[in-house]
Amino acid sequence: MLAGSGWMEERSMAELVLDSVTKVYNPKSRHPVTAVDRVDMPIGDGEIIGLLGSSGCGKTSTLRMIAGFESVSSGEIRVGERVINNLPPARRNVAMAFEGYALYPPLRIRDNIGFALLRDRHPAAEVARKVDEVTGLLEIGDILDRYPPTISAGQQQRSSLARALIRDADAFLLDEPMSQLEPQLRAILRARIKDWLITRKMTTVFVTHDQTEAIALADRIAVMEGGILQQFATPNDLKERPANLFVASFIGEPPMNIYTASVYRDGDRLGLIAEDQAGNEAFRVALPGEDAAPAPHRQLRDGQRVHLGVRPHRVRLGEGGLLGRVTSHHWLGDQTHIGIELGNALLIAVAHGIFEARAGSDIAIALPATSLHIFDHDSERALFHGMEPAERAA
């Protein structure tokens, strides 16, 4: 008997599309809550999507609408050509691991996990084999004969995850599937789960607060804030081409250095004057001359107000025309975070390995034009990434 063979071929999956999906709770009350606001998300067959955002931004609401446990206020959810948002949950063929686990207390863990397959009349021996396989993967093979109230929160969470992963569904929705686990176990399981999802070509949307987890697991990440999808892109694009100031400051550890700045013109050269918190000049960076081709940043106007961003790991230390003063440095075991005062503004830099510098000492700094991100002052949308226009064909 070939373990798992036929399991994935049976499934006919297709694109899962969220089309302007909106959720308003208590719409008729005096305090309606718009939890999800016109979210567009086309998810490819077999794609792994991370839904990332702060508490209350609408992640669980989004998953529950896909699963059918919450109605859609407006918009449409489709699997392939099939509109599913008016179907009852049981007819959507979607598996979900809930934030609150939702295990059945009177059933042993083994029966909780095998429940959907037994209900769908899969042979008992096949279900037993699959339960063994998925619980081995998640390191809960030793609690299969216990009942939900008698196991730990981390074990309940993995049981709930196993109950979803074992299924044969069009889409898998995992709401913070590993939040209860310690970092070491999480890292091990993350790799195994990723392998499980990829091998079986499982279309997956998982929710997390943890950007490291999102980056490690997801093909693409949907960053949400205030019910609005801020950007839906690959982990690399989120870092290198953040769509707006929110994503730029949300993704990346330590966060991007961001300054209010204004454009100046000096002969045929443009540059930026970055400000400190009080609005005074902190430092200047020159942008490539007009002779440099391509130079789309020439669209910037003299005096234009912008936000300037630079990632800590793109700051070059010990070279360049800016002079700063080291204010702090923290060795984190594999890299050093260095606080530098530039004018009266603070710049955080990351150096690989141990960085030898005394607090209070001067340091030369370069901020290469290719590492600068420029955002519109008012809309906070990205204008340039490394001197390339932010708006390019997606």
Ligand X SMILES: Nc1ncnc2c1ncn2[C@@H]1O[C@H](COP(=O)(O)OP(=O)(O)OP(=O)(O)O)[C@@H](O)[C@H]1O
Positions that interact with ligand X (CB under 6 A): 25-26, 33, 35, 53, 55-61, 99
Give the shortest CB-237-to-Mg ion separation in angstroms: 25
Considering the complex, state which of residue 33 and residue 118 has its C-beta at the smaller distance from ligand X. 33
- What residue is closest to Mg ion based on CB? 60
Cis before 254 (ω within 30)? yes
Residue 120 CB contacts under 8 Å (≥ 6 apart), including other chains:
none
Rounded to the nearest 5 percent, the helix, strand and coil shares of the chain are 25, 35, 40
Give the single-character DSSP code of 394: -
157 binds Mg ion (CB under 5 A): no
Are the C-beta atoms of 50 and 217 separated by less than 8 Å?
yes
Minimum Å distance from CB 161 to ligand X? 16
Q: Are 372 and 322 in contact (CB under 8 A)?
A: no
Q: Nearer to Mg ion by C-beta: 49 or 374? A: 49
Interaction partner, residue 58 (Mg ion, ligand X, none; CB < 5-8 Å by kind): ligand X
CA distances, 264 to each of 3, 269, 271 (Å):
66, 8, 5
Among residues 60 and 135, whose Cβ is nearest to Mg ion?
60
Cα end-to-end distance, the chain, whole Å: 45
Residue among 52 and 372 whose Cβ is closer to ligand X: 52
User: Which partner in ligand X, Mg ion, none is near 242 (CB below 5 to 8 A by kind)?
Assistant: none
Is the Cβ of residue 39 or residue 367 nearer to ligand X in the bound state?
Answer: 39
Given Mg ion, ligand X, none, residue 61, with its beta carbon under 5 to 8 Å by kind, binds ligand X
| Closest distance of CB 164 from ligand X, Å | 17
**Footprint (CB under 5 A) of Mg ion, residues 313-372:** none
| Shortest Cβ 41–ligand X spacing (Å) | 15
Residue 236, contacted partner among ligand X, Mg ion, none, CB below 5-8 A by kind: none
Residues in 37-76 at the binding interface with Mg ion, rule: CB under 5 A: 60
Number of residues that bind Mg ion (CB under 5 A): 1
Could you tell me if 15 and 201 are in contact, meaning their C-beta atoms sit under 8 angstroms apart?
no
Residue 56 or residue 106: which is nearer to ligand X going by CB? Answer: 56
Q: CB 180 → Mg ion: shortest distance, Å?
A: 14
Burial grade of 96 (CB within 10 A; 0-12, 13-18, 19 or more): buried
Q: Of Mg ion, ligand X, none, which one sits near residue 55, judging by CB under 5 to 8 A according to partner kind?
A: ligand X
What are the b/e assignments for 213-228, b being 16+ CB within 10 Å? Answer: bbbbbbbbbbbbbebb
Q: In what order do the strands lie in the sheet with 220-225?
A: 94-97, 171-175, 204-208, 48-52, 220-225, 228-233
Question: Using the 8-state DSSP alphabet, how is residue 381 labeled?
Answer: B
To the nearest whole angstrom, how small is the minimum distance from the Cβ of residue 30 to ligand X? Answer: 13
User: Between residues 53 and 309, which has the closer beta carbon with respect to ligand X?
Assistant: 53
Q: What, of ligand X, Mg ion, none, does residue 264 touch, CB below 5 to 8 Å by kind?
A: none
